[in-house]
Chains A and B, each alone.
Chain A
Amino acid sequence: MVSLVVRRLLWSVPVLLVVATLTFGVMHAVPGGPFDKEKKLPPRIKANVEAKYHLDEPLWRQYLLYLGGLSRGDLGPSYKYLGRTVNDVIAETLPVSAELGALAFLFAAGLGIGFGFLAAVKGGAIDRTNILLATIGISVPSFVLGALLVLVFSHLFHLLPPALWEDPRHAILPALSLGLAPAAYIARLTRSAVLEVLGREYIRTARAKGISEGVILWRHLLPNALTPVVTILGPLTAGLLTGSLVVEYIFSIPGMGKFYITAATNRDYPLIIGVTLVYAILIVAANLAVDVINAYLDPRIRLE
């Protein structure tokens, strides 16, 4: 178990290094620099600015400088938010995104596992409704849902604020927009996993031994049915990150995603590379967490 974690952690270092290098390469291959504006800067000033950020040095030196900073955990200065480093911007925006992501995650996992479980166990009309709702859920892009929610709850009934991130009421619509598609997806997956486990012989054996339904549920059914569900929580985190980008844009939430979009339009290279790296770290961490939880749920994985 410990060796699994250590091995995966070691492996994540080259992955992140490649991600950093690729992003760095792409950013510097893009035509047009961060200081090309409609109003041309005087050549001397431009040269000064570029010298300040080492943009006048050969690419390989810029790359080494960047990696040097990276090894000290320094993501460099932001080109557009003057006087602030990328670390500052991330430290300020990541908590907001994390809060939104965590809310959406809880909503998605709670609703998805609950509904999927209910549908599989009860069957009949509940099951059919669940399948229909889940298919609708995965077919609605978050921005469509977000727009609809704002239209109904903010503009029509004036119940909830349409934008910004201040008190808890601001979190409801964004979390719903972000969480619905994952919820629908988890519901589908949970349903099929529970159905599969219910058909297994060890469940019948447990019933034949006269074990109470409660124990069967908690000891036999859930741990086995949740393995595939836990497995997709890794990719789900990736999905939530991607989604939060859009949802933050729609609701003007000052999170990492909104800054990423602005940085992309502004060519703020260090900020783009920095946020991309944070995304990659989060995904690698999520996948690792998934493997650990699965090893805990399923002893067979532990032995590998």
Chain B
Amino acid sequence: MTEQDFNTWRRIWRHGPTRWGGIVISVFLAVALLGPLFSPYPYDLQDPSSLLQGPSLRHVMGTDRLGRDLFSRLIYGTRISITVSVVTAFSALILGTAYGAVSGYFGGRTDNLLMRGVDVIYALPDIPLIILMTLFLGRGVLGIFFALTVVGWVTVARLIRGEVLRLKEFAFVEAARSLGASHARILITHILPNTLGVLIVTLTFRIPSAILAESTLSFIGLGLAPPAASWGTLANEGWSALRFYPHLILFPSMVIFVAMMAFNLFGDGLRDLLDPSRRPDPRRLV
């Protein structure tokens, strides 16, 4: 780690909201990775003798209508929701970066053509587009992952295109070209490393967008099919019992809120630090 890296990390740590965001994110990642080890019950264990119980010592967050322990189900849901969101954010980032970089770098007619494709996806609202895709791809984890990627990469492509348009005018690109570097080499070793700050910030904001999209989709009953459970599926189950068993929706809602808040705080901090000119993504609005 160079001294500059060290300084960056120190500035992140010194800024309260960013630090807390980071800590909470680490906890979520740890739960996603190791959670099932600490889960008090199997996530799908039905206990007919304790249906729809409120929080107690035996079941800290109560049980659902099949007598399943909500805390264990939330731990399992965390693994699914976090994995789907993180993987989706990464794949959208990679796809969007490649597309945006090529579009911005070659410019002209290539750019025009590629950006018209982006226009089409931009003319469709997120959730209906995701619904269409999941109808096509199925309601498994893979289908949702592909659908969220298809929606997510467009924003990234636009951002990176803008960055590349700006960067390619710099003298160091001219220098590399005059030394005979190929297009691929210029893009990969000279231009893209300079977009790293933007990329990292985009990644932190793609994750809460993905969490939001996935949980919304599952909440309206078009996401993951049971018995698999994500945060949204659990909230949906809670919704149907809202009136008399509010704990079933309060705990999943709280988890979703805390996770989104953590990623947003962390992303805001990183943006101020790495990319002060950027505004948040206006499509994260459900």
Contacts and interface: CB of A to CB of B under 8 A. Distances in A.
A144 B235 contact: yes
Given A26-B132, A239-B282, A265-B222, A151 B216 contact: no
Contact of A242 (B119, B125, B235, B260): B125
A246 B222 contact: no
Contact of B220 (A147, A249, A275): A249
Given A26-B136, A29-B136, A148-B253, A232 B123 contact: no
Interface string B12-27: 0000010000000000
B135 A264 contact: yes
Interface of A: prevailing SS: helix
**Quick one: which of B120, B208, B268 has the most chain A CB within 10 A?**
B120
A119 to B, nearest CB: 15
A56 B48 CA distance: 49
A22 interface: yes
B106 interface: no
Interface string A25-58: 0110110000000000000000000000000000
Contact of A141 (B125, B136, B222, B260): B260
B242 interface: yes
B19 to A, nearest CB: 15
Interface in B83-132: 119-120, 122-128, 131-132
Interface stretch (A61-69, A168-176, A181-189, A216-224): A181-189
Interface residues of A, number: 57
A111 interface: no
Contacts, number: 149
Interface in A227-255: 228, 232, 235-236, 238-243, 245-246, 249-250
B257 interface: yes
Interface residues of B, number: 45
B285 A245 contact: no
B123 A143 contact: no
Contacts of B260: 138-141
Contacts of A261: 131, 220-222
11 contacts: A138-B260, A181-B286, A185-B285, A239-B125, A239-B282, A239-B286, A242-B125, A243-B285, A261-B221, A261-B222, A264-B135
Given A138-B280, A143-B215, A261-B220, 9 more contacts: A15-B120, A19-B123, A135-B17, A135-B265, A142-B216, A155-B243, A228-B279, A242-B126, A243-B285
Interface of A: 12, 15-16, 18-19, 22-23, 26-27, 29-30, 135-136, 138-144, 147-148, 150-151, 155, 181-182, 185, 188-189, 192, 228, 232, 235-236, 238-243, 245-246, 249-250, 260-261, 264-265, 267, 272, 275-276, 279-280, 283-284
